[in-house]
Amino acid sequence: MIAIARNTTIAVSNWWNLIWITMGQVLSSYGRGGRVSFIISLLEPVILILLLYVIRGLFRMGTTSFGTSLFLFMATGFLPFYLFLNISGRARAAGGRASRLPGLTSLDITIATTLLNSIVWITMIVAIFVGMWLYGIDQARPDSIVTSITPLLLLIVMGMGIGMINNVIARYFRLWIFIYRMATRGLVFLSGVFLIVDLQPLWLRAWMIANPLTHGIEWFRVGIYGHYPHNSLDRAYLIEWTLITLFLGMVLDRAGIRAFAKK
């Protein structure tokens, strides 16, 4: 038993070293050719938040936001939403990247890419909230850090699973990536980013709660605000989506590799 435990520990350590090296390679690839697109993907949600904030201020538009700051409300919606979009997109692209290390699988590359982008995005989200708090928005200090971080982790894992599924579909239907991008960005209107789900008409609420991203955003807002209206929040629904998409992604990824290997 001791020998098995020692061998397992060594194997896990060697695997983690490969993942760590791969994360460095992925980061260097962003610096060579994808730095601009990488920076734009990070700035996109911030630019949209600022744009909406300015437009609503100029036209004195009413808002259904919660709390004392419209900017904070928008941030609690856009940042988790774009975290999912970024992870799913990067995980999809990682599945088609060739390995430069022996013994490294496409799943390992996907995991490394997901970890790297997750660290970058979580760091950016923390920096934005710290900046808002220092600016004087007291509610930017989370009511519960654990409650705030849990839905973000679930969205990261679900994004990885969706990305792997999209990678397999795109091998047979290349137009799928364009369709997916348009469809997911359209989901911003049905994810509770702009609205408080519990205050919407029943017909609209039914569509919104069918979207797992809605529950991730609501869960995140509960962690930030504490007393946030969340009767529509179904934590189990988001967890189920996360586990199912990850399972399907891994199964389809293995099946896709075998199918292409036979050709």
Q: How many CB atoms lie within 10 A of CB 152?
A: 20
Using CA atoms, how far apart are residues 34 and 62, in angstroms rounded to an integer?
A: 39
Is there a contact between 154 and 234 (Cβ–Cβ < 8 Å)?
no
pLDDT at 71: 84
The confidence score (pLDDT) of residue 217 equals 96
Alpha-carbon span 195 to 197, nearest angstrom? 6
Please give the pLDDT value at position 102: 59
State the Cα–Cα distance between residues 68 and 54, nearest whole angstrom: 16
Give pLDDT, residue 143: 92
Q: Among 142, 183, 153, which residue's Cα sits nearest to residue 84?
A: 153
In the chain the beta strands, taken as DSSP E runs, fall at: none
Query: Residue 67 has what pLDDT?
Result: 75
Write down the pLDDT at residue 166.
92
The residues, any chain, with a CB within 8 Å of residue 81's CB and separated by 6 or more, are 45, 188, 191, 193, 213, 217
pLDDT tens across the length of the chain (263 residues): 666 666 677 666 766 677 777 777 777 766 555 556 666 666 777 777 777 667 665 555 555 577 778 888 989 999 999 999 999 988 888 765 655 555 667 788 888 889 988 998 999 899 999 988 998 888 889 999 999 999 999 999 999 999 999 988 888 888 888 888 888 888 888 898 888 999 889 999 999 999 999 999 999 999 999 889 989 999 999 999 999 999 999 888 877 655 554 55
The predicted structure's pLDDT at residue 77: 92
Residue 261's pLDDT is 47
